[in-house]
Amino acid sequence: MKALARFPLLVLFLCFAGAQASEEAAIGTAIDQFHQAAAEADLDTYTGLMASDFVFLGTDATERWERESFISFSKPHFDSGQGWTYTPTERSISVLSDGETAFFDELLAHDRLGQCRGSGVLVKRDDRWLLAQYNLSVPVPNDIVYQVANSIQSFGAGTPLPVAVTVPDAASDESAQTEEAAEEDESWCRKRRHKTNKRADC
């Protein structure tokens, strides 16, 4: 009798697990389509996967794009056939108890930036999962995080953070200055092209 009493609970659990897996698969498909549309410069599909209150956060601190602004930015790139390719390699998805909201994080591969991280929020509207937010970032290894932070502070004319400094000899000093100038040019270039697949006249 006890075994029979547990049977309906088992059925409910299996149904719930199946529904959860189905929703996660649908969410994963929506995110994959979002990336694929960007890689193929398919503006209609790309924007069709954005909720009306969509926000895109880029790797630069100034890059907070609301939906229409981000579409206006993307359109000239897509019209010229120049999208951006970020390939997911790992992903975790969580669906909230309301069944209408989900959040995710993923690791991405990019041909120039290397490993990136994406995270965001999806909402279910008219039985479709749409992105409400996408946040693109570049993870920094802990061993070099202060060096990177110091470079950012210096680039922004802020006060450099205290880090250990190795004084180069005369022969390497000129090389270091050349590399620093190249990095500044590259950073400026990245801002202009929003990390697209190709250089923007740089």
Confidence of residue 197 (pLDDT cuts 50, 70, 90): low
Per-residue pLDDT tens over the stretch 79-108: 999 999 999 999 999 999 999 999 999 999
pLDDT over 90 at 7, yes or no = no
Give residue 155's pLDDT.
Answer: 87
Q: Could you tell me which CATH class the domain 2-139 is placed in?
A: alpha beta
Mark out the alpha helices in 40-61 (DSSP H runs). Answer: 43-48
User: Is a pLDDT exceeding 90 seen at residue 66?
Assistant: yes
Residue 108 and residue 188: Cα distance in Å, rounded? 23
> pLDDT digits over 115-145, tens only?
999 999 999 999 999 999 999 999 999 999 9
Instruction: Kindly report, residue by residue over 11-21, the tens digit of the pLDDT.
Output: 544 455 567 88
As a whole number of Å, the end-to-end CA separation of the chain is: 75
**What are the domain boundaries of the chain?**
2-139, 143-188
pLDDT of amino acid 20: 80
Q: 143 is written with which tokens?
A: 């061993």
Task: Tell which wins on pLDDT, 173 or 58.
Answer: 58
What's the rounded mean pLDDT across residues 107-116? 98
Residue 110: φ, ψ to 5°: -130, 145
Per-residue pLDDT at 72 exceeds 80: yes
